[in-house]
Chains A and B, each alone.
Chain A
Amino acid sequence: MANLIRFDLFLTRIAATIAAVAVIAMMLTVASDAFARQVINARIPFVSVIVANYFMVAIAFLPLAMAEAQDRNISVDLVYGNLRPAAQRLVGLLVHVLAFATCCGLTLTMWDEAMRRYSSGSVAVEDGVSMAVWQGYFLLPAGFALLAMTYLLRIILGVTGAEEARQPLIPDISEIAEETGQ
């Protein structure tokens, strides 16, 4: 079981690292473009296309599993927190099954769409010049598949009665920061 968690978190961290690189790259690209426009009246070619179709897609979807692993997906604790432990386990399992099914559906449909875009060679056009953007479509099934995998892991953990099923798989990094006095 520990190996399964390690494998899931390994993939989750790789996806999150790509998204982190995208955040930094987006900051540098957009800021450079803004300065270039003001100072030398020039723009970085395709900046809005790259930001929208690559960086934004990577930042929005690749960290989904990381958000779940850190228990940062937004949810309501009103009733759940007041349930008895046995009921919490049952409800937790039901919710994880529903979430897993939803993510599987999203993964499949996003994969089909990505393959369709790949086959048609989807492009964005700026000033009459085209740029391939089909690659970005594959980031969606990747993000949702990883999220589905995390929920599957939680289902397995829940069925085997492991405590980790309903706890963060990775401690919240902001809590670590607080502990170190940041």
Chain B
Amino acid sequence: MTPEIIGLAGLAVLALLLLLRMPVGLSLILVSFTGIYILLGPRPAWGILTSVPYQFAAKWTLSSVPMFLLMGYVCYHGGMTRALFGAARAWLGALPGGLAIASVFGAGGFAAVTGSSVACAAAMGRIAVPEMTRAGYDPGLATGSIAAAGTLGALIPPSILLILFGIFAQVPIGQLFLGGIGAGVLTAVIYAAMIYIRVRINPALAPVREDPADWGERFAHLRGIWPVILLFVAVIGGMFAGLFTATEAGAVGALAACIIAWAGGGLTIATLRQSVNETIVTTAALFLIAIGANLLTRFLALSGSGELITQTILTFGASELALVLGIALVYIILGMFLDPIGAMLLTLPVLLPVVNEAGISLIWFGVFVAKFLEIGMITPPVGLNVFVIKGVVDRSISLGVIFRGVIWFLVADAVVVTIMVAFPQVILWLPSLS
């Protein structure tokens, strides 16, 4: 058996273990270790297994992952979303479908302080869906808009997806964050435009239009969102002003979030405990996968199958566009069944060399991958954001209704992705300025 065949057989066994519901991290470790053992013998295999977990986790730069997670969870449990929705409602509520549009921009605001789309969807869903239901909005529009808007959480910085991509692909995280802003704003605008057009065509979707708020009321609402603005400016502004590094920004943001939430009465011992527990459990689960992905990268490199896959893909995907579309298809399918970060870490060992070889910008690719993985968060059968919304809304709204409501946002996402591919400057313009 040639080394390349051993590598490909390893990938097949990996797929089998994943289908049997073996945890992704342990599957990656088991397959990679066994593969290296067969290829090189016991000593190198045990040597690699011994060194990788510590070397991977004991990194100063990686500390931004638990810190940004903590910041997001504290903001979530600290209840910073209500004021965001209120402000967006005061400014946009009078538009056709104004509450849904306000929800999209409210979620965009919350995305600026959290790196997780699930937290973003859950936080906004609890507040905005009941408001839209009361106003007689179509349940599909009400729930679909929140499920889809939640995906902004992983695009607008800070984004855990982009941090991990940056670490794996060795791309500056600050540049990825700037690229994420372009994709996030574009997504929010296209979502809002789609809601506006749909409600203009069929006013029954959102029968009640809010009375326009006067300017005094609008600015009064803006004062209510100072904690979020302060946090965003402190963290992202501080990072780009050179006051602190991306690694330090996470810790400064988490501490600032704790202080702001405590000052606003949103942080208690119980909510801090919840936030910390979710932070450590999520970090451990993610790092186990990241360590497994690191081992898989070595296994594929040692077997030569990684190179084989790269060359095969490049031969078939003659044009850059065909390659990008092929990768998009892979992520849409994986995103349907897998947690986005798991899907990303699982595939990067294979795809990064291909993308590098094809000369595609890694900043653009990182944001592109994040966008596609987030589309997976709202596509059936396993759309995590849809499940989260189902968990926080009235029981009478079925999963089918939410998925049907999301379809329109998938159409909007197709427009967003087309713009991202046709005009990469949308993503690359801001990073080019820094």
Contact = CB atoms under 8 A, between A and B. Distances in A.
B285 A72 contact: yes
Interface stretch (B20-28, B91-99, B307-315): B20-28
Interface in B89-110: none
A22 B338 CA distance: 29
B278 interface: yes
Interface string B256-274: 0010000000000001011
Nearest to A76: B18
B276 A76 contact: no
B411 interface: no
Contacts of A61: 53, 57, 284, 287
B255 interface: yes
Given A78-B337, A177-B274, A52 B59 contact: yes
Given A26-B66, A59-B283, A66-B281, A76 B338 contact: yes
A31 B284 contact: no
B280 A31 contact: no
Interface stretch (B179-187, B240-248, B365-373, B424-432): B240-248
B252 A74 contact: no
B23 A73 contact: yes
Interface string A147-175: 00000000000000000000000000110
B54 A99 contact: no
Contacts of A27: 67, 70, 251, 254-255, 258
B280 A19 contact: yes
Interface string B370-396: 000000000000100000000110000
A79 B382 CA distance: 12
B77 A75 contact: no
B285 A106 contact: no
Nearest to B24: A74
Given A30-B251, A31-B248, A74-B289, A56 B337 contact: no
B277 interface: yes
**Which of B63, B67, B392 has the most chain A CB within a 10 Å cutoff?**
B63
B23 A136 contact: no
B90 to A, nearest CB: 25
A28 B255 contact: yes
Interface string A8-40: 000000001001100110111111011101100
Given A67-B284, A177-B274, A91 B21 contact: yes
Interface string B396-431: 000000000000000000000000000000000000
A40 B59 CA distance: 26
**Which of A33, A74, A109, A112 has the most chain B CB within a 10 Å cutoff?**
A74
A56 B342 contact: no
Given A72-B281, A76-B338, A102-B30, A23 B248 contact: no
A106 B20 contact: no
B143 to A, nearest CB: 16
A178 B392 contact: yes
Contacts of B23: 68, 73-75, 99
A75 B27 CA distance: 10
A63 B280 contact: yes
A57 interface: yes
Contact of B19 (A37, A38, A78): A78
Given A75-B24, A95-B21, A109-B46, A30 B63 contact: yes
B82 to A, nearest CB: 12
Interface residues of B, number: 66
Contact of B63 (A55, A70, A94, A102): A55
Nearest to A47: B60
Interface in B1-49: 17-26, 29-30, 33, 46, 49
Contacts of A182: 77, 79, 271, 274
A91 B20 contact: yes
B21 A76 contact: yes
Contact of B248 (A34, A102, A173): A34
A24 B254 CA distance: 9
Given A16-B280, A20-B276, A102-B26, A57 B54 contact: yes
A67 B285 contact: yes
Nearest to B123: A182
A105 B33 CA distance: 10
A67 B279 CA distance: 11
**Which of B46, B50, B79, B122 has the most chain A CB within a 10 Å cutoff?**
B50
Given A102-B29, A103-B26, A173 B288 contact: no
A67 to B, nearest CB: 5
A74 B63 contact: no
A51 interface: yes
Nearest to A113: B50
Q: Which 9 A-B pairs have the closest CB atoms?
A: A30-B251, A80-B21, A60-B57, A73-B23, A63-B284, A63-B280, A34-B248, A60-B287, A31-B255
Interface of B: 17-26, 29-30, 33, 46, 49-51, 53-54, 57-60, 62-63, 66-67, 70, 77, 79, 122, 243-244, 247-248, 250-252, 254-255, 258, 271, 273-274, 276-289, 337-339, 341-342, 382, 391-392
Given A52-B59, A73-B288, 16 more contacts: A29-B251, A30-B250, A30-B252, A31-B251, A31-B252, A57-B57, A60-B57, A61-B284, A63-B284, A68-B23, A73-B25, A77-B21, A80-B21, A99-B26, A102-B30, A177-B274
6 contacts: A27-B67, A59-B284, A61-B53, A62-B280, A113-B51, A178-B391
